[in-house]
Each structure stands twice: as C-alpha cells, then as structure tokens.
Chain A
Amino acid sequence: MAAYVLRRLFFSVFVLWGAVTIIFVVLRLVPGDPAYIMLGPDADQAQVAALRAQLGLDHSLIQQYATYLSNVVRLDFGQSFRLNADSMSLVLQRVPATVQLASTALLVSLLIGLPLGVVAALRANTWIDRGISVFSLLGQSTPSFWLGIVMILLFARGLQVLPSSGSGSWAHLVLPTITLALPFLAILVRLTRSGLLEVVHEGYVQTARAKGLLESTVILSHALRNALIPIVTVVGLQFGALLGGTVIVETVFAWPGVGRLLIDSIGRRDYGVVQASILLVATIFVGINLLVDLIYGFLDPRVRLAGD
C-alpha cells in the first residue's frame, strides 16, 4: 500500500508541475509582451516595467521559467494592482464559499445519483429504467448556465420561494447546488447503472445468490462493491467538470467563490489573480483525485497489495 500511495503522490506532484508549466507556456505563446497583455492597454509605462522586472522578461526563457517556478512554490502570484492586495490571499478568501458549494453538490449527487443508478440497473429495460435514463440524459445535456437562469425565473421570480443570488443562508445554497449537482448526478446515474449491469452476471454474484443471501445483500454488498471500483476513478475525473462548473454557477447566482473571482479578474485583466485561482482549483482537483486513488486502493485489494 505504501508503494502505491507514494506512486500516486508522485503523479499528483507531476500533474501540478504540468499545470504550472502549461500556464507558463500559454502566457509566453500568446503573441505580444506578457507583461503588457497581463496589465492591459491602459497600464502606464512604469507598471509595465515593474512587471517585466518581476517576471524577469529581460532574461532567457529558462531563467524566466525558473523565476516563475520559484514564485509559484512560494505561492507568490504578485500584487493585484486593481484590488490592491496579494493575489493568492485574495483567492484564498474565496475558497470556503466554493468548497461549501462544491461539497454540497457532491454530497447531493452521491445521495441521489447512486440509488437512482442502482434502481435503474435492477429494473433494467423497464419503464422505471427508461425514465431514469431520460432524466440522466437531460441532466447531462442541459447547459447549467441556462438551467440556473430557468430556476431563477421559476423559484425566485415566479414562485418567490428562494433567493436568486448571493449567499449567507441555506436557502441561498439550494438553487446553485441543484444547478451544479445535476450534470454530475446524471453521469453518476449512468455509470452506476452500467457498472452494476456489468457485474451482475459475474460468477461471484451467482455465488452470493447460491449462498442463499438476501437479494439486497447480493446487490448492495457483493455486486455494488465491485461495480464501484471503476466508477470511483471516473467520478474523480468528472469532479473536475464539477469544479469547472462552479465558475458558471457562481457567475449565474453571484456566489462569492473562486470561480466568480476568476471571471471578474479576467474582466479586469488581473492575471495574477487569474493564475492563482486556476492553480488553486487545479490543486483542489489533484488533491481530490489523490484521495480517489486512495479510495480505489481501499476498494480493490488487488491494487492495494500489488506492490507488496
């Protein structure tokens, strides 16, 4: 297990290094002076010169990259000229709101998606299964920014039962959570259904039945535990889409999280904050995937014991 954890940890660091490098490369690939692009057309000469010096643009690319890496490691993304504060601390202030939204959405998706997927698999090819499949297809295909707007129209303006934007109370959390959770939930339903259908014909499920176990034990203990193994990996990867979705949902519902800060900062051409936000979300995502890998190892003893 130790070897496995170490391997996954190494990969996570590797991915983060890749993300940092991609940002560096993209910033240098875009035509024009990076300092000028980052500051925007209305920056004065002194500001541009200061940023050029900070980024080390007068040095070679390799030196620039080294400077950049050392800045990233120290979580130094420079000052936000517009908000007059340290970029990273600005982003960190917004993290709790995003984490609250994303984790509620994740919880809701799991609590609804897994049971729906199990029911669809157990009732495969009946009208219940078809109904759930249609729901799941709609959930995956509905643009979340549009769904958010429609829900504001229905519940905030029409029925006037829930607030349309802002944060503070549990009521504020309802609409953003549903909007963010739906696509993820839909994918979860599909994965659970197909994963379970794949294992119900396995020998060990037949064995479990031959042992005279209750059908609920056969499915929920023997079959689902195995079906979850591949699901967990895809769920981890899809969690990235959920995190990306927070950018849209936070914009629609004026939720004060990292995503909205990111979009606002792009509008203000505040690239220090943009980089800090993106790297922070990427770090959360990589962290979640590391966790998912550990859960994977826990679920599948063949993986856990492979290195030992």
Chain B
Amino acid sequence: MTSEPLLSVRDLRVEFSTSAGVVTAVDGASFDVRRGETVALLGESGSGKSVTAQAMLGIIPKPAGRVTGGSIEYDGRDLLALPATATRELRGREIAMVFQDPLSSLNPVFRVGAQIGEMFRKHRGASRKEARAEALELMRRVGIPAAEKRLDDYPHQFSGGMRQRVMIAMALALSPRLLIADEPTTALDVTVQAQIMDLLARLQDEEGMSLVLITHDLGVVADVADRVVLMYAGRVVEAGPIREVYEHSAHPYTAGLMGSLPAIDGPRERLTPIQGAPPDLLDLPSGCSFRPRCAFASERCADEEPVLLGAPGRPAPHSSACHHAGKVLTDAP
C-alpha cells in the first residue's frame, strides 16, 4: 500500500433540483482513496454517499442533479474538468461500479453473457466470439456454477446472489483500478451477503485494486475496510482507520452508531438508538446538521458549522467535524 492517493475528492458539492426546491445532496465532502486500500463510505440514506459515488463516475442524473463545486482528482487528473468523452472512457476501464439491486441494475432483455461481453466489445473492439470467451472466464472467476450453460440465460433466471456475481463480473471485466460498490449486499439474503463480501475481498486482493464500499451497515464494513469515512447530511463528519474510529469515536453521530450496535462480546442492557429523525435536506438546521439529535449540542453548534479537523489527542489520519470532539472522546465508554 503506497501513501499516494489514487483518488482524491476535495470540497465536492452536488445539488439536485426537486419539485420542492434545490437540495444540496453533497456539501463540501473531502476524502482520499489510496491504491489498493478499502475505504468504507458510511451513512444513512440521504447522507449523500451514493451521490458522491455517482459524481466519482460522472453519472449524476441530469438535468436534475449537477456538481456545483470541488474537484475529484483521479491519478493526477481532475475528473470534473475532463471532457465528457474522456470520463466516459475511464468508466468501466479504470473505475467500475457495482450497484445495490442486481435485478434492476441488469438489463432484463439481454443475456448475461452479452451484457458482460459488451465491455470487451465496446471498449476493446473484441469480436462476438472473443467477448463470449472472456465473459465465460469471468463468470467462472466470480463463482457462477455451470457458467457455460448460464451464459445465455437472462437476468430474471438467476438468484439474487448469482445476479450480483454477474454484476461483479461485469465490473471487473477490464481490470479497473478502482471499484465502487454501492450497498452491494443490501438487496440480498443474509446468508448470501457474506459470500459476496468474501468474493469482493478476494478479487480486490487478486487484482490489487482500490475498493470504495458504500454502505449503511456497520457490520459489513468492520471486517473488510481499512479506513472509514462517515457522512451525514451531505458532509463528512468523521474519517480515519477503521479500528481507530470504532474504538475512539470523535463525533457524536459515530458514537451514537456504536451505541446502537449490539456488542459481540456479552449482552448489553439495551440498544440505544440515535434519537430524533434523520435530517430533512430541504430544511437543514443552521450550523451543525446533527445538532438536533446531539446530546453535546451547544450554542456554538447553532452558530458555527464545524469543519473536519484532526481528532484531539488521536493519531494523525483520524479527523472529526465536531466542536466538542474532545469531550465526545473522553465521554465515550
């Protein structure tokens, strides 16, 4: 693992115009993804994590959504400044994505072999036969049994887990250097979830690629991620090495999530869920967005928006966007 980042997101802002008004889905998010590492992007729905991923790929739904600020530097080039044709060529080839729901993400009217093979045909100019052979090889690699028989099946003929394997095969086709997986196991059975996570971890290891794992599920992340970036209401609220953040949460939101996570060792009295409702992006409070749900909230939190700073007294890569980070660290169990 080298320290030079492969991808560097700086002050990213994405806005969506809805019938009810303009919503800032991502509000000044910054984080890095280094070569070969796994970064977990964690947050509730509406926290901006999926929109951040769409921005990284340049596939924000237009004309409703648009990037209004910041930069996304990939391998030294700012993706947001590149012409559309250049970012399109990076998609699939350098940066690939696996989506949450494999049923709706696969085209229902094309055979899976053709959908995987399309990567080779369109990006590499492969012949139909070559593409088919490559697709077969990939399907075997992601562990689809009887792959040569299933090559000509349609997505609806596969089980959820197998469909996600097809999606992963498609994403890995051109050996990308960065794979973004947006809630890859959420739509799947619990038993299948672990298999898919194992597959992703194994493939990442084999390919040496970077992996951005977008999830709302703390449990999924713990075993595989190197670092975690927590998002809340479009902002990054805490970031750092995963053990460090788990064990020494420096943001009340993270601390709250830890509190609502059942402990593995021994029973706890009761789960303490985070109080209050998730934020309404159309009507965010002044200052810190988490303020209404926060036990540490003070007047300063209403007046001044906290910025992402190094967590006080903790080793360097750990940062938090909270005025009371020090207090949160000492109060935590």
A203 touches B108 (CB 8 A): no
* A157: Cβ under 8 A from any B Cβ: no
Residue of B nearest to A298 (CB): B109
Selected contact of B57 from candidates A203, A210, A226, CB within 8 Å: A210
Closest residue to B106 on the A side, CB-wise?
A204
Pick from B7-15, B86-94, B303-311 the stretch touching chain A: B86-94
Interface-side segment among A89-97, A238-246, A300-308: A300-308
Contact A226 B157 (CB under 8 A): no
**B236 at the A interface (CB under 8 A):** no
State whether A225 and B105 are in contact (beta carbons under 8 Å apart), knowing that A212-B90, A217-B122, A305-B154 are contacts in the complex.
Answer: no
Closest approach, in angstroms, between the C-beta of B294 and any C-beta of chain A?
35
Task: Determine the main DSSP class of A at the interface with B.
Answer: helix
A226 to B104, CA, bound (A): 12
Judge if B107 is at the interface, Cβ distance under 8 Å: yes
Q: Is A214 an interface residue (CB 8 A)?
A: yes
**Smallest CB separation, B59 vs chain A (Å):** 5
Does B101 touch A at the CB level, under 8 Å?
A: yes
B273 at the interface (CB under 8 A from A): no
With known contacts A206-B99, A209-B59, A302–B92 Cβ distance under 8 A: no
Q: How distant is the Cα of A225 from the Cα of B110 in the complex, in angstroms?
A: 9
Instruction: Assess the B57–A222 pair: CB atoms within 8 A.
Output: no
Q: Are B107 and A204 in contact (CB under 8 A)?
A: yes
A201 at the B interface (CB under 8 A): yes
Q: Is A299 an interface residue, CB under 8 A from the partner?
A: yes
A275-307 CB mask vs B (1 if < 8 Å, else 0) is 000000000000000000000000111100100
User: A150 contacts the other chain (Cβ, under 8 Å)?
Assistant: no
- Of the candidates A209, A215, A226, the one whose C-beta lies within 8 Å of that of B108 is A226
Known: A210-B59, A211-B92. A301 touches B99 (CB 8 A): no
Interface size on B, residues (CB 8 A): 29
**Binary interface profile of B, 104-135, with partner A (CB < 8 Å = 1, else 0)?**
11111110000000110011000000000000
Cβ contact within 8 Å between B170 and A211 = yes
| B96 interface hit (Cβ, 8 Å) | yes
Bitwise, A199-229 to B at CB < 8 A (1) or not (0) is 0011110111111111101000010011001
B145 to chain A minimum Cβ distance, whole angstroms, is 20
Q: Which residues of B contact A300 (CB under 8 A)?
A: 108-109
**0/1 per residue, A70-91, Cβ < 8 Å to B?**
0000000000000000000000
Chain A CB within 8 A of B61 CB? yes
Would you list which residues of chain B between 199 and 251 have a CB under 8 Å from chain A? none
Residues of A close to B97: CB separation below 8 A = 207, 210
How far apart are A255's CB and chain B's nearest CB, in angstroms?
A: 39
Contact (A214, B88) CB under 8 Å given A206-B105, A209-B59, A300-B109: yes
Instruction: Judge whether B156 is part of the interface by a CB distance below 8 angstroms.
Output: yes
**Residue contacts A-B, CB under 8 angstroms, 28 given:** A201-B61, A202-B104, A203-B99, A204-B104, A204-B106, A204-B108, A206-B61, A210-B59, A210-B91, A210-B96, A210-B97, A210-B99, A211-B119, A212-B88, A212-B89, A212-B92, A212-B93, A213-B122, A214-B122, A222-B110, A225-B109, A225-B110, A226-B107, A299-B109, A301-B154, A301-B156, A302-B108, A305-B156
